[in-house]
Amino acid sequence: MRKMGRRLGLGIGWAGLLLIGLVECGGNDVSRSTGSQGSSGAPAGGSTVTGGGGFSAMSGSGASAGVAGPALGTCVAPSPLGYQPTWTPPSAPAVGACTEQQVSQEYALCQFGTSTYDAVACRAFDVAPANSMCMSCMFGALGATAVGAILVMPGGQWLANRSGCIALIDGDSSATGCGAKTQAADVCKYGACLAACTLPVSDADFRACQQATENGACSAYYSQAACAELPRYASCEYPDFATFYSAMADLFCVSGLPAAGGEAGAGP
């Protein structure tokens, strides 16, 4: 399942579509509420347009498949709004927690906008006892004690755990490591632009907002996260959310870390 992608830096993709929230089973969210902090759970939706940085975003627009949503909104200059990062470290890889079929089926049924998206089937899949171990490995809320493949943002959006991948490659899950610095920049970018944009907003406008954070609202976090550009983290970078999803699922819940601590190998 593991695939190498091109380097992406700190990009995060956006699409303004339907926000559905989280689904829990057992230790996962039973209520489909919008992601309580510190709980784990698999959200039941994504977006038709997902970009670099491993971010699958959704707005509260109320749009649904085949139904036109409201007019697109706009973005103002992003602000950090007192943002203080809270490091969510990675869980240890749980080899065999998921099968490749479970990973693929979760994406096919639950990623909003795919041709196979089915909200009812998604919920049934997520709450099935046979899938509870996989779902617990795959998803966890930002702010939890530890999270696997996908960080669930406070609004229910999926953020591929690139920062956790970096931390695992380094063997450094501390709050001062490169993984923590990368997560701080990624979450700052997401939060600043979510606050700055009236949803739903076009992918182009949200990307422009993200770019503006690099030298503005989140510049301090970007400077600290420059370490993420080192070649040894190449196996934590992918060209789009679908590939990010597959790779992070493989790392955390299917196969674990590759030999030599990453496909790029050791070294700077």
Predicted pLDDT at 259: 61
Please state the pTM of the whole predicted model. 0.75
Per residue, the 3-state secondary structure of 95-117, as one string, reads CCCCCHHHHHHHHHHHCCCCCCC
At 65, give phi and psi (nearest 5°): -55, 125
Which run of H or E residues covers position 42?
strand 42-43
User: How far apart (Å, rounded) are the C-alpha atoms in residues 259 and 229?
Assistant: 21
**Domain residue ranges of the chain, discontinuous segments joined by +:** 22-61+69-257
CA–chain centroid gap for 39, Å, is 15
Predicted pLDDT at 70: 57
User: How far apart (Å, rounded) are the C-alpha atoms in residues 64 and 19?
Assistant: 10
User: How far apart (Å, rounded) are the C-alpha atoms in residues 159 and 216?
Assistant: 22
Per-residue pLDDT tens listing for the chain (268 residues):
433 222 222 223 222 222 222 222 222 222 222 222 222 333 333 332 233 345 554 433 333 333 344 578 889 999 877 889 999 999 999 999 999 999 999 999 998 778 999 999 999 999 999 999 999 999 999 999 999 999 998 878 889 999 999 999 999 999 999 999 999 999 999 889 888 998 788 888 988 998 999 989 999 999 999 999 999 999 999 988 899 999 999 999 999 987 644 433 333 4
Structure tokens at 157: 């959006």
Predicted pLDDT at 126: 95
Predicted pLDDT at 80: 78
Predicted pLDDT at 198: 87
